[in-house]
Amino acid sequence: MTLAWTSKKLHLLLKHRTPRLLGLFHVSKLSISMNHAWRRHLTCPGITHIDPVLTMSTRLNPPFRAEHIGSLLRPAKLVAKRFEFETGACSAEELKAVEDESIPAIVKLQREAGMKTITDGEMRRAAFYQGMFEKLGGMEIVPNCSLTTFKSYIPYVGIFHAMGLTEYSSIYCNGKIKRTEGVHTDDFKYLKSLVSSEVEHIKVTICGPTWMHLRHGSDHTYDKSVYTNDAQYFADLIQAYREEIKELYSLGCRNVQFDDPTFCFFCSDSMITGMEQAGVDHEALLRMYIDVFNDITKSRPADLTMGVHMCRGNFKGMHYTAGGYARISETLFKRMDVDCFYLEFDDDRSGDLMPLRYLPPNKTAVLGLITTKRGTLESIANLRVRVEEAAEIISQGDPKRPKSDAMNQLCLSPQCGFASVFEGNPISEEEERKKLELVVEAAKQIWQSFP
Ligand SMILES: [Zn+2]
C-alpha cells in the first residue's frame, strides 16, 4: 500500500466522516507507514485532519479550527426595518425583502474574514431562540405572558423582575406538538443558493429544546389536558426536532448547532439556590435535559456534525449570569451525545479551564476566548497561552492523552454571537470584521506552529 494511495483513499473515506466515524479507523488496522503526525491524527477520534500536505490548522469538516457562533450584526437598514415590523409599521414581506438583500453581504463578510463556517447571521430572526417553538403546531405565542408563570430563579427572569416588568412575550404549548412545516429549511435553501460549493460549510443554529421548559417548568409549559407530564411533552418535541433536522440534512445541511444557554444557567449559584428553595431537583432536571438532547441526536448520520453552544447570556453586550462549568462539566461532557461544545471563556464569569479535563477523546471543545461584547482585540499571544493551557488540562483527563491529541480536540471562536438579538452588541461592523479575522489568524498561528 503506497502512501499516495492511502492518502487518496483516506481522503475519500473521510470526506464524509465525523469524529465518531474516525474512531473506527486505527493505524494498526491500516498497516501503513506514517509519520508521527499522521499517527496522532488517526489515533485520536476527535481529529479531522489527516492529509499530510495540509497544515495542522486545517480541518476538513466542522467544527473548523476557526469558528463563529452564528449571529452577526444586522446592517442598519435591517435593524430599522425589523423595528418597523415589530411595531406593525411594515409587512412580513417588506421585512423579508430587506433580509434577502442583507444575507449575501453577510456571506461575503464571512468569506473575506477567512471563515469556513457560513451562517446567514440569523438575519431573519429578532432573537436567537426564534424558530422551533413558534412554528410548531400546538404552540401558541403569548405576547403578554404573566411573569408569574416564569421561574423566578432563572437569571434573566430575576432581571425582568428588577426592571419592574410584570409580563413578557412567551410561547405556550396548548395542543399536541406537531411539525407541520419546515422551521429553518427555507432559510437554509436561500443560504444554499448563495454559497454553491460551500454547502457543507453552512451551519444552522437552532434554539435548544429546553428553552421553554426551564422558563416555565412542568406547571406552565404545556396544557395538562394535552400532556400530563414532561416525558410526554418532550417525546413530541423531540420528534419535531428530529424531523426538522432530517429535512435539513436532506437539503444538504451537515452542521447543526443548538443554542442553549440553559446549561450555563445551571452553573449559577443563585439559580441553584433558587431551585432548591423551590423544591426543584436540579441534578435530575439537568440529566433530563441532556437525555432530551440525546434523543434528538441519537442515530444521526455519520457525516452530520452536531454541537451545542452554551453561554451566560448575550443581550446587547450584557450577560445574565456567571459561574464556571465545574458544576456541570463531568455530567455534561461525558453524558451529552454531541460532537462538539461551543463554550465561552472570554472572562472570569466563565471560571477557569479546569472543567475541560472531563472532555472525552471523541468530542471537541470550541473555545470561545474572544469576546463579542467589546471591540477590543485580544492578543494572539494570550490566546495561544490559553489554548495550550486548555490542551494541557485535557491531556491530563481520563484517559490521559498526549497534549498534541488534546490540541486536536480544540478549536477557537468568539464566545457568543455578535447579535443574539437583532439590535446587536455594542461593537461596530468594522470591529466585528476584525474579530472574525482575529479568530482565523490566531487559529492559523496557534495550530500551525504547534509541534
Ligand atoms: Zn451565546
For residue 218, count CB atoms less than 10 angstroms from its CB and return exposed for 0-12, middle for 13-18, buried for 19 or more. Answer: middle
**Span from the CA of 264 to the centroid of ligand 1 (angstroms):** 10
Q: Which of 438, 359, 412, 433 is nearest to 57 (CA)?
A: 412
Q: Helical H runs in 355-428?
A: 380-395, 403-407
End-to-end alpha carbon distance in the chain = 27
Distance from CA of residue 383 to its chain's centroid? Answer: 21
Q: Which of 322, 415, 412, 341 is nearest to 371 (CA)?
A: 415
CA distance 450 to 387: 11
**Span from the CA of 415 to the centroid of ligand 1 (angstroms):** 7
- Please tell me the total number of residues recorded for the chain in this structure: 451
Question: What is the reported pLDDT for 44?
Answer: 34
**Span from the CA of 301 to the centroid of ligand 1 (angstroms):** 26
Question: What is the reported pLDDT for 196?
Answer: 80
**Span from the CA of 310 to the centroid of ligand 1 (angstroms):** 6
Cα dihedral 320/325/327/330 (nearest 10)? 150
**Span from the CA of 418 to the centroid of ligand 1 (angstroms):** 9
Domain that includes residue 339, residue range = 76-448
Q: Which of 302, 310, 301 is nearest to 333 (CA)?
A: 310
35 assigned to some structural domain: no
The number of helix segments (H) and strand segments (E) in the chain equals: 18, 8
**Span from the CA of 145 to the centroid of ligand 1 (angstroms):** 24
For residue 435, count CB atoms less than 10 angstroms from its CB and return exposed for 0-12, middle for 13-18, buried for 19 or more. Answer: buried
**Span from the CA of 393 to the centroid of ligand 1 (angstroms):** 24
**Span from the CA of 260 to the centroid of ligand 1 (angstroms):** 8
**Span from the CA of 261 to the centroid of ligand 1 (angstroms):** 7
**Span from the CA of 374 to the centroid of ligand 1 (angstroms):** 14
354 assigned to some structural domain: yes
- Are the CB atoms for 122 and 417 separated by under 8 Å? yes
Distance from CA of residue 99 to its chain's centroid? Answer: 22
Question: What is the reported pLDDT for 16?
Answer: 37
CATH number of the domain at 249, please. Answer: 3.20.20.210
**Span from the CA of 430 to the centroid of ligand 1 (angstroms):** 21
- How many separate domains does the chain show? 1
**Span from the CA of 309 to the centroid of ligand 1 (angstroms):** 6
**Span from the CA of 50 to the centroid of ligand 1 (angstroms):** 31
Question: What is the reported pLDDT for 450?
Answer: 60
Residues 69-81 pLDDT 10s: 999 999 999 999 9
Q: Which of 271, 355, 282, 277 is nearest to 312 (CA)?
A: 271
**Span from the CA of 314 to the centroid of ligand 1 (angstroms):** 6
Strand partners, 340: 307, 364
393: Cβ–Cβ under 8 A, 6 or more apart, which residues?
353, 354, 356, 357, 406
- Are the CB atoms for 307 and 63 separated by under 8 Å? yes
- Are the CB atoms for 310 and 343 separated by under 8 Å? yes
**Span from the CA of 343 to the centroid of ligand 1 (angstroms):** 8
399 assigned to some structural domain: yes
CA distance 103 to 78: 10
122 assigned to some structural domain: yes
**Span from the CA of 416 to the centroid of ligand 1 (angstroms):** 4
**Span from the CA of 122 to the centroid of ligand 1 (angstroms):** 13
Buried b (16+ CB within 10 A) or exposed e, 18-33: bbbbbbebeeeeeebe
For residue 225, count CB atoms less than 10 angstroms from its CB and return exposed for 0-12, middle for 13-18, buried for 19 or more. Answer: exposed
**Span from the CA of 24 to the centroid of ligand 1 (angstroms):** 33
CA distance 123 to 103: 7
What does the block give as the cell for 425? 452588541
Question: What is the reported pLDDT for 198?
Answer: 87
Q: What is the DSSP letter of 401?
A: -
The packing angle between helices 282-297 and 230-251, to 10°, is: 30
Query: How many other CB atoms are found less than 10 A from the CB of residue 350?
Result: 24
Question: What is the reported pLDDT for 58?
Answer: 56
For 410, what's the count of Cα atoms within 13 Å in the CB-facing half-sphere?
31
Residues of the chain falling short of pLDDT 50 = 1-57
Query: How many other CB atoms are found less than 10 A from the CB of residue 317?
Result: 16
- Are the CB atoms for 104 and 194 separated by under 8 Å? yes
**Span from the CA of 325 to the centroid of ligand 1 (angstroms):** 14
Cα dihedral 183/188/190/194 (nearest 10)? 170
**Span from the CA of 39 to the centroid of ligand 1 (angstroms):** 35
CA distance 206 to 131: 7
CA distance 346 to 340: 18
**Span from the CA of 101 to the centroid of ligand 1 (angstroms):** 26
**Span from the CA of 345 to the centroid of ligand 1 (angstroms):** 11
347: Cβ–Cβ under 8 A, 6 or more apart, which residues?
371
Largest CA-CA distance found in the chain, in angstroms, rounded? 72
